[in-house]
């Protein structure tokens, strides 16, 4: 039950990002940079100091290695195949893997829907990470949920910016970002089904979550944070690492 609750709260932070855009417009460079850096620091600390050691405790080095590579590999595949948005150095929305299929009348609306689809699938492994963390300890699950929530706020900002530019109403934008967020508890629920089969699945799930999180940090959080403000980014990253170290020490 905790896994579903934590993953739900982490997921719906996407809606918070969208709501911030509707009310205040996009946040400044430094705030976004600090947010992304801090989330990256928490994710790295949780992956290397908690998830991987717990995976080795529940299973073997082989299980942990395969799980880690599978988690990073799936995130790489999603990253390469699906369109998703982020902020560039000048704080403009930049889209990776722009769609090539003419599906809707307005180009921006078509792009917005495909980015929505990409982010929704992207959130499934994040729910699995929360579930895997909770299998180790409630505290670890909470850390992962907080880091993913912080990561999802800029995702919501990016998705809402594109969908709103495509002409959708505020209500529809908020509903679509809610659907994106709800994929996180869905991922947690799928993970819980497998984790209760055997300790090997728990070990593999934790390593998978670690691999997925490290990929997200290295490919998305750190580069985006540095583009916005390199010094603030480093400060946020170190603070995130220290928070986990102090609270688990």
DSSP element (H, E) containing 85: strand 84-87
What are the per-10-residue average pLDDT scores of the chain (249 residues)? 82 85 72 78 82 84 92 82 56 52 50 66 77 77 83 75 74 88 86 75 82 84 79 88 74
pLDDT at 26: 62
Kindly report the pTM of this predicted structure.
Answer: 0.66
pLDDT at 65: 94
Q: Among the residues of 196-229, which ranges form H helices?
A: 199-216, 222-228
Question: Taking each helix axis from N to C terminus, what angle separates 124-136 and 170-195, rounded to the nearest 10 degrees?
Answer: 40
pLDDT at 154: 72
pLDDT at 241: 87
Task: Locate the domains of the chain by residue range.
Answer: 2-21+40-87+100-248
* CA separation for the pair 129, 141 (Å, rounded): 8
């Amino acid at each position: 039950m905790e896994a579903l609750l934590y993953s739900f709260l982490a997921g719906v932070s996407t809606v918070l990002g969208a709501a911030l855009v509707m009310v205040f417009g996009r946040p400044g460079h430094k705030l976004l940079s600090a947010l992304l850096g801090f989330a990256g620091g928490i994710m790295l600390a949780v992956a290397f100091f908690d998830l991987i050691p717990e995976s080795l405790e529940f299973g073997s080095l082989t299980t942990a290695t395969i799980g880690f590579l599978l988690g990073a590999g799936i995130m790489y595949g999603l990253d390469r195949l699906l369109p998703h948005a982020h902020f560039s150095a000048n704080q403009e929305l930049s889209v990776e893997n722009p769609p090539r299929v003419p599906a809707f009348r307005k180009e921006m609306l078509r792009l917005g829907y495909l980015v929505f689809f990409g982010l929704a699938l992207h959130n499934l492994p994040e729910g699995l990470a929360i579930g895997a963390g909770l299998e180790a300890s409630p505290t670890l699950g909470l850390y992962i949920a907080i880091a993913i929530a912080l990561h999802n706020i800029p995702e919501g900002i990016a998705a809402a910016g594109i969908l709103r530019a495509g002409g959708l109403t505020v209500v529809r934008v908020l509903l679509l970002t809610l659907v994106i967020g709800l994929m996180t508890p869905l991922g947690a629920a799928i993970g819980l089904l497998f984790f209760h089969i055997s300790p090997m699945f728990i070990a593999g799930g934790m390593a998978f979550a670690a691999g997925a999180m490290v990929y997200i940090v290295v490919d998305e959080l750190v580069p985006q944070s540095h583009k916005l403000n390199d010094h603030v980014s480093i400060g946020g990253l170190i603070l995130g690492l220290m928070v986990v170290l102090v609270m688990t020490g």
